[in-house]
Structure 1
Amino acid sequence: MKFHTRKWVKPEDLNPNRSLFGGRLLAWIDEEAALYSVVQLENPHVVTKYMSEINFMASAKQGDIVEIGIDVVKFGRTSLILRCEVRNMMTRETIITVENITMVNLDEHGRPIPHGKTKVEYVKDRLQNKI
C-alpha cells in the first residue's frame, strides 16, 4: 500500500475524550479517496458512492501524525474501488481500515460515465507518453 498523505492531529481534530474524532478521520479518508480517484481517472467529477464497514482499531492524540494509504482493488466500468488504511506514525498502529470505497466517474451533468481505465497509472508515466 502506498501512503500518500500525512495529517498532523491538531486540537480542532479532537473529540471530548481528547483523541482523534472519528468523523474528522472519515472526512480525511473521503478526501484522500476523491483526490486519488481524480488523478487516476483524470476527471474532476468523481464522487463517493459507497464506503464499507469501518472498525477503529487504535486512536491518535494531539501531536500524532497519521498516514493515509490507498490501494486500488478494482477498476469498474464507471467506478474505481479502493482500499484504505490509516496508521499512526508515532505508535505504528493501524487506526482504521476501509476495505471498499467505491468512487464513481461522472460527466459534467452528474451522470455516471465510463472512464476507460484498467490499471493504476502514475503521472510520471503519463508525462513520458506525451513526449
Structure 2
Amino acid sequence: MLFHTRKWVKPEDLNPNGTLFGGKLLAWIDEELALFSIIQLENTRIVTKHMSEINFRSSARQGDIIEIGIDAVKFGNTSITLKCEVRNIMTREVIITVDSITMVALGDDGKPKGHGKIKLEKLDDRFRKIENKD
C-alpha cells in the first residue's frame, strides 16, 4: 500500500466526543483517491462512483498524525478500483479500511471515457520516459 498523505488532526477536525470526525476523514480520503486517480489515469476529470463498506476500527485525537494509504486493485476500461487504509502514526492503529472504491474517468462531455491504462505506474518511471525522449 502506498502512503502519500499525512494529516495533522486539529481542533476543527473533531466531533463532540473529541475524536476525529468521520465525515472529515471521509472527505480527506475522497480527495486523496481523486488525486491518486488523476495521476494514474492522466485525466483531471475523475469522479467517485462507488465505495464499499467503510470499516471504522479506531479513531484519532487532536494532535495525532494520520496517514492515508491507497493501492490499485484493478483497472477497468473507464475506471480504476482502489482500496484504502488510514492509520494513526501516533498510536500505530488502523483507523479505517475501505476494501473497494471505484473511480471513473470522464471525457469533456461528462460521460465515462476510456483511459487505456492497465497497471499502476510510478511517477518516477513516467518522468524517466520523458527524459529519455529528449
TM-score range, shorter chain: over 0.9
Partner in structure 2 of residue 26 of structure 1: 26
In the TM superposition, what is the alpha-carbon distance from 1:78 to its structure 2 partner? Answer: 0.4
Q: Please give the per-residue CA displacement for 1:46-75, whole angstroms capped at 9, x wherever unaligned.
A: 110001111110000000000000000000
**Percent identical across equivalent pairs?**
68
Partner in structure 2 of residue 85 of structure 1: 85
CA RMSD of aligned residues (A): 0.6
- In structure 1, the gaps of 5 or more residues are none
For the residues of structure 2 that align with 1:128 and 1:54, how far apart are their CA atoms?
A: 37
Within 5 Å, give how 1:62-81 maps onto structure 2: 62-81=62-81
Partner in structure 1 of residue 108 of structure 2: 108
For the residues of structure 2 that align with 1:19 and 1:128, how far apart are their CA atoms?
A: 43
AA in 2 matched with 1:48? T
Partner in structure 2 of residue 47 of structure 1: 47
For the residues of structure 1 that align with 2:93 and 2:65, how far apart are their CA atoms?
A: 11
- In structure 2, the gaps of 5 or more residues are none
Q: SS at the partner of 2:48?
A: strand
In the TM superposition, what is the alpha-carbon distance from 1:96 to its structure 2 partner? Answer: 0.4
Per the normalisation by structure 2, the TM-score is 0.96
Aligned residues: 131
Partner in structure 2 of residue 126 of structure 1: 126
For the residues of structure 2 that align with 1:87 and 1:128, how far apart are their CA atoms?
A: 32
In the TM superposition, what is the alpha-carbon distance from 1:94 to its structure 2 partner? Answer: 0.2
For the residues of structure 2 that align with 1:91 and 1:128, how far apart are their CA atoms?
A: 38
Q: SS at the partner of 1:115?
A: coil
AA in 1 matched with 2:105? N
In the TM superposition, what is the alpha-carbon distance from 1:124 to its structure 2 partner? Answer: 1.2
AA in 2 matched with 1:21? F
For the residues of structure 1 that align with 2:33 and 2:83, how far apart are their CA atoms?
A: 9
For the residues of structure 2 that align with 1:37 and 1:108, how far apart are their CA atoms?
A: 17
For the residues of structure 1 that align with 2:15 and 2:73, how far apart are their CA atoms?
A: 32
For the residues of structure 1 that align with 2:18 and 2:46, how far apart are their CA atoms?
A: 34
